[in-house]
């Protein structure tokens, strides 16, 4: 049995952290669903920037939409929604078979809204309405301005993928926002089944401290933070507050492991996938990581519900001078800045491509 199927059978959803028009038109995504138990996917500005910049799959659509007067964010979201609604339709059988728990794709609001609560709420509702797909998550960052937007968006009935979470504390803030949104729906007599995931970024921790800790601690911080977070997740699901909502019909906000591609070339390319196996969670993997795990990954047990050695290991990092709270805040800020840069690069790419394609299509006028 493939390692991907074993992971799926454990109860963890395998999602692809990638989307390109080529993946869709070539049938590759459909093959990953059939062969590797992939049941969803995620996207972000960096992924779309790379997809549009490094291929010509989007050229015809860019030309036609630009000719119709579309540009900037409007042009991008039309392209992204074309891809993601097609992907959502591929995953719809999974979505239906799991009662709406799995089979999701994700679209991020503009990173320029990271500090704009009201703008994020409005954009989330608008994008979800435009997609007209129940299995499309809107990604909202778990930044200070994003937390109240998450609550309001959940209350409005829009599924949310909370992104850019790095620590247990950031996760708990996002979980609290989700729960408040569900509690308000219950109080208002609304359906409590609004899906959400909370995305914990893992490998970036290890990249940040790679040259600052002794060799025995390298590539261990992200997993330790994940273990601490998983313990908090299991405790939350067992709490009386959550059990009351579950009894009312609510589905839990699942923890999602993000940034699970190995950055250190000296470490195993399946390090984070093997270490983060756990039921009732999601692992969204870069394409290379998915293929590596399918080829030679091993199931070596599952995350301990009580966190295992996480606290002892995190104490070692603290003794080594790593300020976990400060670093989590730094990583979140850096992540938001990186997405903003990709967003600006993406819009610049769309502008230059639109102009180039327009010039190429213009008839040549010969002087008489």
pLDDT for the residue numbered 362: 62
Residue 365 scores a pLDDT above 50: no
User: Crossing angle of helices 324-361/310-319, nearest 10°?
Assistant: 90
**CA 7 remoteness from chain centre:** 19
Q: What is the DSSP letter of 101?
A: S
Please give the CATH architecture assigned to the domain spanning 3-358: Alpha-Beta Barrel (3.20)
* 35-57 confidence digits (pLDDT tens): 999 999 999 989 999 999 888 99
**CA 347 remoteness from chain centre:** 21
Average confidence (pLDDT) over 189-205: 98
* 118-147 confidence digits (pLDDT tens): 999 999 999 999 999 999 999 999 999 999
Q: Which tokens hold the place of 69?
A: 């007067």
Sign of the Cα pseudo-torsion (51, 42, 278, 11, in order): negative
Instruction: Determine the Cα–Cα distance for residues 137 and 6; give it in Å rounded to an integer.
Output: 26
Residue 191 scores a pLDDT above 70: yes
* 271-307 confidence digits (pLDDT tens): 999 999 999 999 999 999 999 999 999 998 899 999 9
341 belongs to the catalytic site: no
Instruction: Determine the Cα–Cα distance for residues 337 and 334; give it in Å rounded to an integer.
Output: 5
Average confidence (pLDDT) over 186-206: 98
Q: In sequence order, what are the beta bridge partners of 327? A: none
Q: What whole-number percentage of the chain has pLDDT above 70?
A: 98
* 236-273 confidence digits (pLDDT tens): 999 999 999 999 999 999 999 999 999 999 999 999 99
Domain boundaries, the chain: 3-358
279-313 per-residue burial string, b: 16 or more CB within 10 A, e: under 16 = ebbbbbbbeebbbbbbeebeeeebbebebbebeeb
Residue 197 scores a pLDDT above 90: yes
Length, in residues, of the chain: 368
pTM of the full structure: 0.95
Q: Which of 158, 172, 164, 166 is nearest to 146 (CA)?
A: 164
Average pLDDT, the chain: 95
pLDDT bucket at 367, cuts 50 / 70 / 90: low
pLDDT bucket at 24, cuts 50 / 70 / 90: very high
Q: In what order do the strands lie in the sheet with 38-41?
A: 38-41, 12-16, 281-285, 254-258, 196-201, 160-165, 136-141, 105-108
* 83-126 confidence digits (pLDDT tens): 999 999 999 999 999 999 999 999 999 999 999 999 999 999 99
Q: In sequence order, what are the beta bridge partners of 254? A: 197
* 306-343 confidence digits (pLDDT tens): 999 999 999 999 999 999 999 999 999 999 999 999 99
Instruction: Determine the Cα–Cα distance for residues 41 and 283; give it in Å rounded to an integer.
Output: 10
Q: Which of 208, 195, 241 is nearest to 320 (CA)?
A: 208
Instruction: Determine the Cα–Cα distance for residues 243 and 118; give it in Å rounded to an integer.
Output: 31
Choosing from 53, 65, 70, 139, the catalytic residue is 139
Q: Which tokens hold the place of 258?
A: 């993000």
Residues 6+ apart with CB under 8 A from 294: 2, 3, 4, 35, 36
pLDDT for the residue numbered 98: 97
Q: Which tokens hold the place of 124?
A: 């989330």
Instruction: Determine the Cα–Cα distance for residues 286 and 282; give it in Å rounded to an integer.
Output: 13
């Amino acid at each position: 049995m493939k390692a991907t199927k074993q992971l799926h059978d454990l109860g963890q959803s395998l999602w692809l952290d990638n989307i390109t028009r080529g993946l869709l038109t070539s049938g590759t995504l459909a093959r990953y669903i059939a062969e590797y138990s992939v049941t969803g996917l995620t996207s972000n500005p960096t992924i779309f920037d790379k997809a549009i910049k490094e291929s010509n799959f989007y050229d015809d659509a860019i030309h036609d939409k630009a000719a119709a007067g579309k540009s900037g964010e409007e042009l991008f979201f039309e392209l992204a929604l074309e891809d993601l609604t097609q992907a959502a339709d591929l995953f719809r059988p999974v979505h239906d078979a799991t009662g709406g728990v799995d089979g999701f794709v994700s679209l991020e609001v503009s990173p320029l809204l990271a500090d704009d609560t009201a703008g994020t709420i409005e954009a989330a509702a608008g994008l979800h309405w435009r997609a007209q797909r129940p299995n499309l998550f809107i990604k909202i960052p778990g930044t200070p301005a994003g937390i109240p937007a998450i609550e309001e968006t959940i209350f409005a009935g829009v599924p949310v993928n909370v992104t850019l979470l790095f620590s247990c504390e950031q996760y708990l803030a996002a979980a609290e926002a989700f729960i408040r949104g569900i509690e308000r729906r219950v109080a208002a007599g609304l359906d409590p089944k609004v899906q959400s995931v909370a995305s914990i970024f893992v490998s970036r921790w290890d990249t940040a401290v790679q040259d600052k800790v002794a060799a025995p601690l390298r590539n261990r911080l992200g997993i330790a933070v994940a273990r601490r977070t998983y313990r908090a997740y299991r405790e939350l699901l067992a709490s009386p507050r959550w059990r009351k909502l579950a009894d009312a019909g609510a589905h839990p906000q699942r923890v999602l492991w993000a940034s699970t591609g190995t950055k250190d070339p000296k470490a195993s390319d399946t390090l984070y996938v093997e270490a983060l196996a756990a039921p009732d969670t999601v692992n969204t993997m870069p394409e290379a990581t998915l293929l590596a795990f399918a080829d030679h990954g091993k199931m070596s047990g599952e995350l301990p519900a009580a966190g295992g050695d996480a606290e002892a290991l995190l104490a070692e990092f603290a003794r080594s001078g790593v300020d976990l709270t400060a670093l989590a805040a730094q990583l979140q800020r850096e992540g938001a800045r990186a997405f903003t840069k990709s967003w600006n690069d993406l819009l610049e790419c769309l502008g230059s491509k639109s102009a180039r394609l327009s010039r190429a299509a213009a008839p040549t006028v010969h002087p008489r």
